[in-house]
């Protein structure tokens, strides 16, 4: 049989020994669209949704460890208090039907430039935990994603967990699309503040082949902030938007033009900072 | 997605599924990638044999198991007309791999009521005139069942969110909301 339904990581390794070229299937919400449209023709598949170790999440004082099979519905409903920006992003993923099936691990593994969770995970300095029979390795998200729908996953490996540090400070996620529901983002951004470390992190989505950190904008904002009052002057907020725009390297496609994307990402980055300091 | 969905995608007689890609493999004639499996649909075990591994649950339901209630429109999870419940969770069956649905409890629109009967939600749709062309209605009915079963006191905002993945191109949402309210009031009055 060219398909396997493992229920444990050990069974996943066994399945990948038998089917080394198999596609690793999580929720299927991206994969099945490509298959339905004939863009992809799988010959063997390892289905991951029954794998016990991939289910659920755990929360400690320092971090949230998301099993790769954690669905967007779970993030949206359960993690609002601990990971507010990721929960906000989860609410914008597709429709209830997509969020019930689609997973965080699938989002990372698919590595779409428009993946809604990715700018948040990038801004949070999330780590991808990869498992194989010989052991595990941890890779920073932005090292794991190497290009458009490309990752550094190796044969025999499976995404096991996504580790997300918990940070004290305001968090925002903003997304531009044609509707309030069921849209692939034209641009999106996540702004994460770390009040303790006094850093501002800005992750941008759909404006480059990979999710992006706007590091010039981040350094500028960290300097311009009044950290005691958690405020920033209006001209600094405007400048932050300009720097975010400069970091973007968007393309034109059916969802929007490069010019529009560059403009819009500056607007939403500035708005995210404005909301964060007003909170 | 600029590509338009087409039945030709599943046409085993064309090597490229009608997409005009000359080097695209021929899925249905590749014996390596066919599978046999059983699905539990509306409480009945149903067998699928010699199926291409990449077939969606929607395709299996409609074309192999004779259950055309789940509708096929977008094939990309956008329209919700193929909505069904997989282990009690609302999903778009076009985005579920059929061969991954083995062992799961699949409940389609055909399985909501007994043969020849209507559920409270279906009756409310009829009585409120909520059906225009009807294409989205099976998905709408399944999604509203899911919402009322989870949260009988859902607000209008929660209803809008719950059916945000179900498109009615007749834009008949007003009557659909009215049908929801009728079914909701019925359940609350019955002590839900």
A44 with B19: Cβ contact below 8 A: no
A197 shares its domain with A153? no
A70 shares its domain with A198? no
Res. B62 pLDDT band, cuts 50 70 90: very high
Identify the pLDDT of residue B192: 75
Domains of chain B: 7-111 (3.10.20.30), 120-189 (1.10.150.120)
* Nearest beta carbon to residue A43 from set B30, B86, B89: B30
Domain ends where: A121, A142, A165? A165
pLDDT mean over B109-121: 95
| Residue stretches of chain A with pLDDT short of 70 | 279
b/e A4-14 (16+ beta carbons within 10 angstroms → b): bbbeebebbbe
Q: A199-205 and A187-194: which strand pairing?
A: antiparallel
pLDDT at B27 over 70: no
Could you say which residues from 251 to 270 on chain A have a Cβ atom under 8 Å away from some Cβ of chain B? 254
- When mean pLDDT is compared across A185-189, B26-30, B100-104, the lowest value belongs to B26-30
A12 shares its domain with A126? yes
A18 shares its domain with A63? yes
A140 shares its domain with A176? no
User: Quick check: A96 contacting B, CB < 8 Å?
Assistant: yes
Mean pLDDT of chain B: 88
How distant is the Cα of A212 from the closest Cα of chain B, in angstroms? Answer: 24
How distant is the Cα of A23 from the closest Cα of chain B, in angstroms? Answer: 11
A94 with B99: Cβ contact below 8 A: no
A179 shares its domain with A147? no
Res. B171 pLDDT band, cuts 50 70 90: very high
Residue in chain A nearest B94 by alpha carbon:
A32
Identify the pLDDT of residue B12: 41
Identify the pLDDT of residue B10: 45
B96 with A28: Cβ contact below 8 A: yes
- Which residues are CB-neighbours of A29 under 8 A, at least 6 positions away? A94, A98, A101, A102, A106, B77, B92, B95
Domain ends where: A165, A194, A228? A165
DSSP string, A117-137: HHHHHHHTT-EEEEEETTEEE
A218 shares its domain with A274? yes
How distant is the Cα of B114 from the closest Cα of chain A, in angstroms? Answer: 25
Contacts of A256 in chain B (CB under 8 A): none
Residue corresponding to tokens 């300009």: A242
Contacts of B30 in chain A (CB under 8 A): 43
Domain ends where: A115, A145, A165? A165
> Tokens at residue A169, please?
């400070």
> What CATH code is carried by the domain that includes residue A256?
3.30.390.50
pLDDT mean over B66-91: 97
> What CATH code is carried by the domain that includes residue A12?
3.30.465.10
A242 shares its domain with A105? no
A75 shares its domain with A146? yes
* Nearest beta carbon to residue A28 from set B16, B95, B161: B95
> Which one is predicted more confidently, B21 or B156?
B156
A106 shares its domain with A158? yes
Mutate to test the interface with A, among B77, B82, B139, B154 (most CBs of A within 10 A): B77
A28 shares its domain with A133? yes
Residue in chain B nearest A32 by alpha carbon:
B95
B33 with A182: Cβ contact below 8 A: no
| Count of structural domains within chain A | 2
> Tokens at residue A198, please?
């006094």
Residue-number span of the structural domain to which A231 is assigned: 171-278
User: Quick check: A47 contacting B, CB < 8 Å?
Assistant: yes
Identify the pLDDT of residue B30: 53
* Nearest beta carbon to residue A181 from set B90, B92, B164: B164
A14 shares its domain with A120? yes
B182: closest CA among B151, B133, B150, B144?
B144
To the question of pTM greater than 0.80 for the whole model, the response is yes
pLDDT at B142 over 70: yes
């Amino acid at each position: 049989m060219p398909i396997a339904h493992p229920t444990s990581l050990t069974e996943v390794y066994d399945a990948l020994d038998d089917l080394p070229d198999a596609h690793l299937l999580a929720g299927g919400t991206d994969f099945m669209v490509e298959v339905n449209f004939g863009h992809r023709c799988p010959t063997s598949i390892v289905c991951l949704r029954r794998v016990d170790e991939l289910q659920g999440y755990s929360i400690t004082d320092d971090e949230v460890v998301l099993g790769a099979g954690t669905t967007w519905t779970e993030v949206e409903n359960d993690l609002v208090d601990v990971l507010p920006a990721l929960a906000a992003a989860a609410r914008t993923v597709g429709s209830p039907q997509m969020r019930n099936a689609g997973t965080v691990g699938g989002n990372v593994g698919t590595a779409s430039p428009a993946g809604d969770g990715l700018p948040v995970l990038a801004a949070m300095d999330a780590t991808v935990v990869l498992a194989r029979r010989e052991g595990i390795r941890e890779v920073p998200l932005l090292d794991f994603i190497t290009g458009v729908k490309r990752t550094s996953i190796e044969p025999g490996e499976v995404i096991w967990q996504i580790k997300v540090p918990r940070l004290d400070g305001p968090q925002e996620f903003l997304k531009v699309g044609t509707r309030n529901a069921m849209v692939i983002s034209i641009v999106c951004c996540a702004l994460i503040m770390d009040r303790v470390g006094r850093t501002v992190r800005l992750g941008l989505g759909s404006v480059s082949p990979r999710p992006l950190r706007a590091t010039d904008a981040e350094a500028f904002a960290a300097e311009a902030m009044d950290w005691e009052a958690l405020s920033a002057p209006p001209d600094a907020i405007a400048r932050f938007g300009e720097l975010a725009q400069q970091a973007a390297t968007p393309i034109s496609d059916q969802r929007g033009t490069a010019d529009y994307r560059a403009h819009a990402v500056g607007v939403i980055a500035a708005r995210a900072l404005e909301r964060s300091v007003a909170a | 997605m600029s590509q338009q969905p087409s039945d030709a995608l599943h046409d085993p007689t064309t090597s490229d599924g009608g997409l005009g890609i000359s080097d695209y493999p021929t899925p249905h004639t590749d014996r390596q990638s066919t599978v046999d499996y059983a699905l539990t649909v509306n409480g009945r075990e149903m067998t699928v044999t010699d199926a291409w591994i990449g077939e969606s649950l929607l395709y299996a339901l409609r074309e192999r198991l004779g259950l055309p209630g789940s509708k096929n429109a977008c094939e990309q999870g956008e329209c919700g007309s193929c909505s069904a419940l997989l282990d009690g969770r609302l999903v778009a069956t076009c985005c579920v791999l059929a061969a991954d649905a083995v062992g799961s409890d699949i409940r389609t629109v055909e399985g909501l009521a007994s043969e020849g009967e209507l559920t409270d939600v279906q009756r409310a749709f009829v009585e409120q005139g909520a059906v225009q062309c009807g294409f989205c209605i099976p998905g709408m009915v399944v999604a509203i069942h899911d919402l009322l079963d989870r949260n009988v006191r859902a607000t209008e905002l929660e209803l809008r969110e719950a059916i945000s993945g179900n498109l009615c191109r007749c834009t008949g949402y007003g009557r659909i909301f009215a049908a929801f309210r009728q079914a909701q009031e019925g359940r609350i009055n019955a002590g839900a």
